[in-house]
Amino acid sequence: MLRTITAALLGTVLLLLAVPTVSAAETLDCVGEFTGTHDGNLRVPSGEFCIIIGAEVTGNVLVEDGALGFHSHGSIIGKNVIVEGVQLDVRILNSEVGWYVDIANSGNAGTIGAICASEIGGNVRFTNNAGVYALGATGFGGVCPEGDVIGGNLIIEDNAAHFVIRGEEVGRNLQLMNNTGGATLIANQVEKNLNCEGNVPPPAGAGNVAERKKGQCANL
């Protein structure tokens, strides 16, 4: 009897170990247009471009090094948008991102990325990017009439890109550090600190509201 119970328990353990760790939430490669619902992560492979329109992704959007670009229009992303080394641009328009957006090492002098009319639950961070980025109510060809609501921090550091930031609602801090492409900040609402240091040229703009304004942004 003991041998029978032991054998049954061993069989159950082996069965559990054989179950794949990713079953309910798979990673789907996005090449071209995606308009459906996916329970899991969406990946943009190197050399490919992905645009999601009216889509829902319960997990992350993972944009791999060497991908051409990623655009989100009127879509819901449950977790994060993580971008590393995109050749062209990233655009998040009229969309929702549950957690954070992290864009690094992307773009070139001729690219224009944008985030506008969107709601981001956590931080938005740009690091070591090139080109131009329009954040908020910048117009951007008529598709960006409204700013974003950012639940966490907006962090822009070590970029060669030029940033136009207008009408953003930032739940914590807005920080610009050591950027070389120039930045214009107009009529942004920052809950905590607006802090700018080490930017060449220094940021320009007016009408920004924050609990504390520091450094190069003290008078903006």
How high is the pLDDT of residue 185? 98
- Answer whether residue 6 is part of any domain: no
pTM: 0.88
Mean confidence (pLDDT) of the chain = 90
Query: What residues contact residue 90 under an 8 Å CB cut-off, 6+ apart?
Result: 63, 69, 70, 71, 81, 83, 103, 106, 113
- Answer whether residue 151 is part of any domain: yes
Confidence at 140, pLDDT banded by 50, 70, 90: confident
- Answer whether residue 166 is part of any domain: yes
Is the pLDDT score of 138 beyond 90?
yes
How high is the pLDDT of residue 25? 58
Name the residue among 211, 212, 146, 154 with its Cα closest to residue 183. Answer: 154
How high is the pLDDT of residue 164? 97
Question: What is residue 218's DSSP assignment?
Answer: T
The boundaries of the domain holding residue 41 are 25-215
Is the pLDDT score of 78 beyond 70?
yes
Q: Which position has the higher pLDDT, 110 or 21?
A: 110
- Answer whether residue 114 is part of any domain: yes
Please say whether the beta carbons of 125 and 102 come within 8 A.
yes
Is the pLDDT score of 10 beyond 70?
no
- Answer whether residue 36 is part of any domain: yes
- Answer whether residue 13 is part of any domain: no
Is the pLDDT score of 143 beyond 90?
no
| Rounded Cα–Cα distance for residues 58 and 49 (Å) | 20
- Answer whether residue 2 is part of any domain: no
84: which 2 tokens? 């590393």
Please say whether the beta carbons of 105 and 135 come within 8 A.
no
Q: Which position has the higher pLDDT, 16 or 98?
A: 98
